[in-house]
Amino acid sequence: MANTMGRSFLQAAATSEEVAPPLRVVQIEGLAVLKIIKHCNEFLPSLVTGQLLGLDVGSVLEVTNCFPFPIREEDEEIEADGANYQLEMMRCLREVNVDNNTVGWYQSTLMGSFQTVELIETFMNYQENIRRCVCIVYDPSRSAQGVLALKALKLTDSFMDLYRNNNFTGEKLREKNLSWVDIFEEIPIKVSNSALASAFMTELEPELPVKQCDYDRLKLSTAPYMERNLEFLIDCMEDLSAEQNKFQYYYRNLSRQQAQQQTWLQKRRVENMARKAAGEEPLPEEDPANPIFKPILEPSRVDSYLITNQISNYCNQINGVATQSFNRLYLMKALHED
């Protein structure tokens, strides 16, 4: 019957309110992109952050403007200043009709090493207040290689649930089938510009390819960048092996403890048999006060997941740069043959 197939209008209306469409695209305005690039480049080599403002429309998150955060000292008094600065900026921008809605934050990174626990913490903080937020990461060193290294990240929902319950045992992870790729979700970025801005840009910059020279991309020397990448990679591998040692240690302790528990249980049973033979009360088979029954905490896997993420990021970067340099080398070869 048709009734079983279609839902009533009321039902459809009710459910559509609760389910938000998943975030598919982040649409940034050219203005915000330029501001982010400028701010990150100015403060190299220190890392900076800033706030993103925009609108949340259906499955698209629009970022229309942004403002930078001042570099904070470790002082306590400046905490209040930071909050004041933010309020002040938001208020002022509201007066000139800029979207006053926070949709996330941006940060610059060094060689793509941004996967840290602080990032996750900040995400959780933001997520409590804003329904949908995104983090944009800009890598100035990679951009110097000729790629606009802008990424939009979001924590996956399953990871967030687990993190909230602080529950990272191996079983839970296997249950949810969560591997290290599932922590961060990268969202594709679209860039949009107002018609006025694009008109200006087209007018001002000539179309002639002769004037548009971006020869940085064709530079042959990639060695320094690759070297640093490899250095970071090696450090990360060391961290990863340290984490794996931790796990080994834990498993060894756990199995040792279980063996101890077994022997203790055996002894108790033998004692009880003796007591039964002698007619006394059998002793309980459990003894929570005994230290060998203390449960050992399983180390959290968050760190190892983050490190794994970072390593894979470095590998990807190396691959990308290597392909680029292959291209360049073949170009040189062709040039030389002439």
Give residues 101-130 in contact with another protein (rule: CB under 8 A): none
Question: Which 153-172 positions form the footprint of another protein (CB under 8 A)?
Answer: 170
List of residues 6+ apart from 251 with CB closer than 8 A: none
Instruction: Between 131 and 336, name the residue whose CB sits nearer to another protein.
Output: 336
Tokens of 304: 């190892």
- Kindly determine how many residues on this chain lie close enough to bind another protein according to the rule CB under 8 A: 99
- 98: helix, strand or coil: coil
Instruction: Between 98 and 130, name the residue whose CB sits nearer to another protein.
Output: 98
* Interface residue with another protein, options 1, 2, 19, 215 (CB under 8 A): 215
Question: Which 305-334 positions form the footprint of another protein (CB under 8 A)?
Answer: 308, 311-312, 314-316, 318-327, 329, 331-333
Question: Which 65-104 positions form the footprint of another protein (CB under 8 A)?
Answer: 65, 68-71, 85, 88-89, 92, 95-98
21 binds another protein (CB under 8 A): no
Instruction: Between 16 and 84, name the residue whose CB sits nearer to another protein.
Output: 84
Answer yes or no: are the C-beta atoms of 106 and 137 closer than 8 Å.
Answer: yes
Binding mask 27-56 for another protein (x = CB under 8 A): --xxx-xxx-xxx-xx--------------
* Interface residue with another protein, options 126, 159, 163, 180 (CB under 8 A): 180
Tokens of 268: 């108790």
* Interface residue with another protein, options 128, 161, 186, 216 (CB under 8 A): 216
Question: Which 232-251 positions form the footprint of another protein (CB under 8 A)?
Answer: 233, 237, 240, 244, 247, 251
We find the least distance from the C-beta atom of residue 163 to another protein, in angstroms, to be: 16
Answer yes or no: are the C-beta atoms of 193 and 288 closer than 8 Å.
Answer: no
In the chain, the N- to C-terminal Cα span, in Å, equals: 76
Separation in Å, CA 132 to CA 123, 159, 294, 299:
10, 15, 42, 30
We find the least distance from the C-beta atom of residue 258 to another protein, in angstroms, to be: 8
59 binds another protein (CB under 8 A): no
We find the least distance from the C-beta atom of residue 85 to another protein, in angstroms, to be: 6
Determine the Cα–Cα distance for residues 268 and 271; give it in Å rounded to an integer.
Answer: 5
Answer yes or no: are the C-beta atoms of 301 and 168 closer than 8 Å.
Answer: yes
* Interface residue with another protein, options 107, 109, 115, 304 (CB under 8 A): 304
The full DSSP string for 248-312 is HHHHHHHHHHHHHHHHHHHHHHHHHHHHHHHTPPPPPS--TTSGGGSPPPPPPSHHHHHHHHHHH
* Interface residue with another protein, options 5, 10, 80, 210 (CB under 8 A): 210
The residues with which 135 forms a beta bridge, in sequence order, are: 105, 153
We find the least distance from the C-beta atom of residue 88 to another protein, in angstroms, to be: 5
The full DSSP string for 3-18 is HHHSPPHHHHHHHHHH
We find the least distance from the C-beta atom of residue 157 to another protein, in angstroms, to be: 20
Determine the Cα–Cα distance for residues 154 and 120; give it in Å rounded to an integer.
Answer: 10
